Structure 1
Amino acid sequence: HQMKDKHYGNTDFYTFIQNEIELIKSARTKGTIDNYRNLINKMKEWKPILTFQEITLDYIQRFHDYEIKTGNQLSTIYKKHANFKFLIGLAVDKEKIAKNPYDKFEIKKITKAQNNDILTEEELQKLQHAYDNNTYTGGKKEVLREFLFSCYTSLSYAEFDNVTYGDLKPVTIKSKSDENQKEETTITTHYLLCNERKKTNVMYKIPIISKTVEQLLEREVTIKTKKGEEHKDKESFQKIFSPLTNQPTNRYLKEIMKDQHINKTMTFHRARHTFRTIAARRGIHDGIAERIMGHAEGNDIKDIYTHLHDEDIVREMKDKWIV
């Protein structure tokens, strides 16, 4: 008996792409794979069967118009286009489609400049005050802790589940002062939180240079003994944060904003926008901000900041932005 390939000769794009998604599953993050599947499911609602021949520039334009009529924001629509372009690319690679119609369709990057995107330093202080006063408990307190940490450091939501106390690397800084014509060298130790971003496999290096940020790490654990309370550092393998899933995180975040009378539409990702904007206002060098954020651009060999020393990153933040 000849072996039968159930996918051979199939003209339905959905059947083909669901099989392809399975093949690339291990090479992409769960969030990315979920986005691909959600996109295909949404498309099926609009067009239950889609042949390879039907995937044309006209089809993409009609999909675009449909998404607008459905009431989706342009930024969301263009993210869907980027995912669809990638999936069509898989069909092109397997010679199911001759050319990717997205070659003639511009995927715009919508960057909203409204202040609704980011928090001001005053608003951050208000949230920090609520955290310090233990206004919230349980999951809501953890969400606020992580959100503040991300605003101060740019750590992305996907990374919170990964970082352990072992990812904190000590960096020694020497600084000279020339008071009364006597040169003195002061040595201080700070920590860099270092790991690879799951999304880009690019190393981020986050300097921990202020007491406020240090306290959000909750590095000490208090043990009650017969003699009294003892403080000791947590073990290196222990996770620093206990993140909730996406939905409760963003729900709690919206509730916290409402409680604190911050009238802005907030999602967790806005914390990274907040960090980037404040860093720019404070004059933090672009190359250093990119390295802290673990951006792929910062890994470009042409970028002269690729070979930054850890001390340079710590000094820059210490000089220009201590929370």
Structure 2
Amino acid sequence: MGYDYIHEADFAGFIFSYLKEHKADLRRETWYSYKSQLSKIQRFKNPLLFSDINEKFITDYHSYMLNVLKNNENTASKSLRVLRTFVNIAMRFGYIKTNPFQYVNIKKVDGKRDFLSLEELNRLNKYYQECRYANIKMEVLQYFLFACHTGLRYSDIKALSLNNLQGDYLVIKMHKTNYTVSIPLTQKSKSFLPKNSKGDRIFKIYCNKVTNRVLKQIAKEVGITKNITFHVARHTFATTSISLGIPMEVVSKLLGHTNIRTTQVYAKIVDNVKLREMQKWDCLVI
């Protein structure tokens, strides 16, 4: 391993060197995520030595993320899991002898999953149909609505090519999981496919930041007050599919989940919505 130039006590330097050497082995998004997480750790403590990594450091870092950076619990937990990955690498090479995470419980809470109701989805459909000219709003809304009807993530939409269209099916290896999914295309989902694609890519995709900014503008124009990001499309597909009575096992396969328990989170969301709506009966004056 090419780590000779690193100070023997330098945890951050060792991890950075390791990531640099193994860049080709990691997905692009994973590599940049790890690099970003390492920078985040260094903002908390720099220099960072192997001897600094103990249970107290982990607890203090967790507190720093929650109270100073104002991260939510899931964001902080994700950062701790990455730190644990870094620690495991250091342990593998003998730089850390005792596992500091041995008695640390990393929490995982169900985050808020915003999704569109059928009425809100229809508002966006109408907005799209009334677009008379090709512009950035129409282009972003086009691939967002396609994702609402197929459950694809942003990374999958971005990589979508004409080769993925096989008759009435969309066959794609999902970027996040490498899981191959075959999604039947409905007439509605087909209506969002561009008539003429330029090159091999189906959609003209803007970066995530621009996409989300445009979606928020559109949501405001049509009176949707929810915090709309591109991932809302995936949540919308899942909750709508379950509400329509599509079996959980089928929804799980369409989403590319490797564990049906991941899909069951959406069933809980749908049940909560049903409960909230049914409680309106209590407002009747008899």
TM-score category (smaller protein): 0.7 to 0.9
Cα deviation for residue 98 of structure 1 reads: 2.3
Cα 1:261–1:100 shift into 2, 3 Å:
farther
Query: How far, CA to CA, are the matches of 2:54 and 2:159 in structure 1?
Result: 41
Query: What residue number does 1:316 align with?
Result: none
Compare the two structures and name the one with the higher strand fraction.
1
Query: How far, CA to CA, are the matches of 1:100 and 1:148 in structure 2?
Result: 46
Q: How does 1:146-225 map to 2 (within 5 A)?
A: 146-170=143-167, 191-209=168-186, 211-218=187-194, 220-221=195-196
| Structure 2 length-normalised TM | 0.83
Cα 1:36–1:256 shift into 2, 3 Å:
same
Cα deviation for residue 89 of structure 1 reads: 1.8
**Structure 2 residue 14 is matched with structure 1 residue 16:** yes
Query: How far, CA to CA, are the matches of 2:55 and 2:14 in structure 1?
Result: 20
**Structure 2 residue 29 is matched with structure 1 residue 52:** no
Q: How does 1:239-278 map to 2 (within 5 A)?
A: 239-278=201-240
Cα deviation for residue 169 of structure 1 reads: 1.9
Cα 1:113–1:36 shift into 2, 3 Å:
closer
Per-residue CA deviation, residues 245-272 of structure 1 (Å, 9 max, x unaligned), is 1111111111111111111112211221
- Larger radius of gyration between Structure 1 and Structure 2: 1
Cα 1:27–1:294 shift into 2, 3 Å:
farther
Query: What residue number does 2:39 align with?
Result: 41
Per-residue CA deviation, residues 172-213 of structure 1 (Å, 9 max, x unaligned), is xxxxxxxxxxxxxxxxxxx1111111221111222102x221
Per-residue CA deviation, residues 101-160 of structure 1 (Å, 9 max, x unaligned), is 33422222222356xx11111101101111111177422222111111111111110112
Compare the two structures and name the one with the higher helix fraction.
2
Query: What residue number does 1:279 align with?
Result: 241
Query: What residue number does 1:293 align with?
Result: 255
Output the amino acid matched with 1:158.
Answer: S
Cα 1:259–1:155 shift into 2, 3 Å:
same
Q: Percent identity?
A: 30
Cα 1:249–1:34 shift into 2, 3 Å:
same
- For the aligned residue pairs, the C-alpha RMSD in angstroms reads 2.2
Query: How far, CA to CA, are the matches of 1:263 and 1:248 in structure 2?
Result: 19
Query: What residue number does 1:133 align with?
Result: 130
- Count, aligned residues: 258
Per-residue CA deviation, residues 216-266 of structure 1 (Å, 9 max, x unaligned), is 112x34xxxxxxxxxxxx69x721111111111111111111111111112
Per-residue CA deviation, residues 270-296 of structure 1 (Å, 9 max, x unaligned), is 221221112222222222222211223
| Structure 1 length-normalised TM | 0.74
Cα 1:4–1:101 shift into 2, 3 Å:
closer
Structure 2 unmatched ranges of 5 or more: 261-286
